[in-house]
Amino acid sequence: MVRQPSVAAQNRPPLTRERIIEAALHIVDGQGLGRLTMRRLGDALQVEAMAIYHHMPRGKEELLDGLVSHVAVFPARPPAGEDWRRALREWATAYRARLTAHSGVLPLVVTRRNPAALSDTAASLREILRRAGLPEGAAADGAHALLGYVIGQTALELRGPSPGEPPTDWDARFTAGLELILTGLSSRARRP
């Protein structure tokens, strides 16, 4: 009989960075960021907590950075035709959906100094605006305005409803605010 390596003998796939991050995301989505601890994460992976450090030497810092990258890296796809507004609307809607799907990670996205995670996304937006006819600087500013708006508005939404106020249609509100920015961008584009 062929002897399996000890890890496989415990009926458990070997640890990977990817598996660790997925398990962490599962905990955060299901129980909240506050319940993500190294020990619990170890339990979820059927491993002692310290085993994680072999794959992530920087420990929890590295884990949280990994979560941010996993959720926040989300570049926009360039428009098929001329309709750059449509492309931006689609990106914004999808990005908001992703952030709300992993709402526990949003504080990390906002907080952590992990610029690389957002710079890809910002670059894709900038490129779309540049091709729409905005000057270089205006395109970069517009890209960050969009990114800031989507993140900020989603954060406001996830803070929960103010008691004593009429319930809000956050979908409609998000779209309305987005159109404000798109209107402003249109007035600065080559083809307004």
Partner DNA sequence: ACCCGTGCCTTTACGCAGTAAGGTGCAGTC
Partner DNA sequence: GACTGCACCTTACTGCGTAAAGGCACGGGT
- List residues binding DNA (CB under 7 A): 3-7, 14-15, 36-40, 42, 47-51, 53-55, 59-61
Distance CA 172, CA 161 (A): 15
Reading the block at residue 93, the tokens are 């809607």
User: Between residues 7 and 156, which has the closer beta carbon with respect to a second copy?
Assistant: 156
Q: Does 145 bind a second copy (CB under 8 A)?
A: yes
Residue 47: which of DNA, a second copy, none does it interact with, CB under 5 to 8 A by kind?
DNA
Window contacting a second copy (CB under 8 A); options: 19-27, 43-51, 93-101, 175-183:
175-183
Task: Please choose which of DNA, a second copy, none residue 15 contacts, taking the beta carbon within 5 to 8 angstroms, the exact cut-off set by kind.
Answer: DNA
162 lies in the site for a second copy, by CB under 8 A = yes
For 50, phi then psi, to 5°, come to -65, -20
Measured over the CA atoms of residue 122, residue 124, residue 125 and residue 130, the dihedral's sign is positive
Task: Kindly give, in sequence order, each residue whose CB lies less than 8 Å from that of residue 112, ignoring residues fewer than 6 positions away.
Answer: 64, 65, 68
- The nearest distance, CB 8 to DNA, in angstroms, is 8
Which tokens hold the place of 2?
């062929």
User: Which residues are CB-contacts of 30 (< 8 A; sequence separation ≥ 6)?
Assistant: none
Report d(CA 173, CA 171) in Å as an integer: 5
Q: Interface with a second copy by CB under 8 A: which residues?
A: 106-107, 110-116, 118-119, 138, 140-142, 144-145, 147-156, 159-163, 165, 172-173, 176-177, 179-185, 187-188
